[in-house]
């Protein structure tokens, strides 16, 4: 390969996503690091609130995988890490994805309020975590199934008042809005079909129509869209 070819190849290569893992169990950090895809580069690890607050500004990761329950600090865990780092220069360049054994609504809502872009439970596989990191790095909000509902309940109106005032939602029929809400919460097509007494094919048709009308590409973008508007 010529020097010119090497230069072009190097210029077009996509750099790996820089990741910091924050979890107080070393065995979990080691296992997770081994399971993550090659598109991710783990540049540091921390086990406590204090270690995380010291490490992250120095390591300048693209994404932080953040446990919710951490020792140290003032006892606020992952949410405390988020709040402390939010005031530091350059913090906007780093996105946070919560990764916890807990699926409790209070835990989910607390870290999302503090600034996390998503929340996965530790039942997620290495490939699922890798894909979630890529989506969060790209600007999406990512949640394990059903957990998005906690966030939508906490930030939304619950009565549709915000939806009624949103011009974008006026493009959707009442049935499409019902389907959109459930899909945004993380329900599978079969679950939506059973809940709304529809066929799976009809649900798929409604989802395609919703995505087209809102100019979105997939259900992950739909969840991010709903979260950003504090719907439901």
154 belongs to a structural domain? no
**Whole-model pTM?**
0.65
pLDDT level of residue 148 (50, 70, 90 thresholds): low
Q: What is the mean pLDDT of residues 161-184?
A: 76
Please check whether residues 7 and 114 belong to one and the same domain: yes
Domain end among 144, 173, 198: 144
Q: Both 116 and 80 in a single domain?
A: yes
Domain count, the chain: 2
CA distances from 124 to 93, 112, 120, 197 (A): 25, 19, 7, 30
Residue at which a domain ends, from 90, 110, 144: 144
pLDDT tens track for 78-111: 999 999 998 777 677 899 999 999 988 888 888 8
Q: Output Rg (C-alpha) for the chain, integer angstroms.
A: 19
Average pLDDT, the chain: 84
What is the CATH classification number for the domain harbouring 130? 3.40.50.2300
Same domain, 163 and 138: no
Range of the structural domain that residue 103 is part of: 3-144
More confident residue, 166 or 38: 38
- Chain-centre distance of CA 75, in angstroms? 24
Does any domain span residue 102?
Answer: yes
For 203-227, write each residue's pLDDT tens digit: 999 999 999 999 888 777 787 777 7
CA-to-CA dists, residue 56 to 26, 67, 73, 98, 120, angstroms? 18, 14, 15, 15, 20
3-state secondary structure of 117: coil
């Amino acid at each position: 390969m010529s020097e010119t070819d090497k230069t072009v190849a190097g210029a077009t290569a996509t750099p790996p996503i820089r990741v910091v893992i924050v979890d107080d169990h070393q065995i979990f950090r080691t296992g997770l690091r081994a399971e993550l895809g090659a598109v991710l580069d783990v540049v540091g690890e921390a086990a406590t609130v204090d270690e995380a607050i010291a490490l992250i500004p120095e390591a300048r990761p693209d994404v932080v995988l953040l446990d919710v329950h951490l020792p140290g600090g003032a006892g606020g865990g992952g949410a405390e890490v988020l709040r402390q780092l939010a005031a530091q220069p350059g913090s906007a360049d780093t996105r946070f994805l919560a990764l916890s054994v807990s699926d409790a609504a209070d835990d989910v809502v607390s870290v999302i309020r503090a600034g996390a872009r998503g929340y996965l439970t530790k039942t997620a596989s290495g490939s699922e975590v890798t894909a979630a990191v890529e989506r969060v790095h790209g600007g999406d909000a990512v949640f394990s199934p059903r957990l998005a509902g906690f966030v939508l309940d906490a930030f939304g109106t619950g009565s549709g008042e915000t939806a009624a005032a949103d011009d974008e939602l006026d493009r959707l029929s009442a049935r499409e809005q019902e389907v959109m809400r459930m899909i945004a919460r993380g329900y599978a097509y079969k679950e939506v079909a059973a809940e709304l007494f529809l066929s799976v094919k009809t649900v798929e048709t409604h989802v395609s129509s919703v995505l087209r009308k809102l100019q979105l590409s997939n259900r992950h973008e739909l969840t991010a869209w709903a979260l950003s508007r504090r719907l439901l």
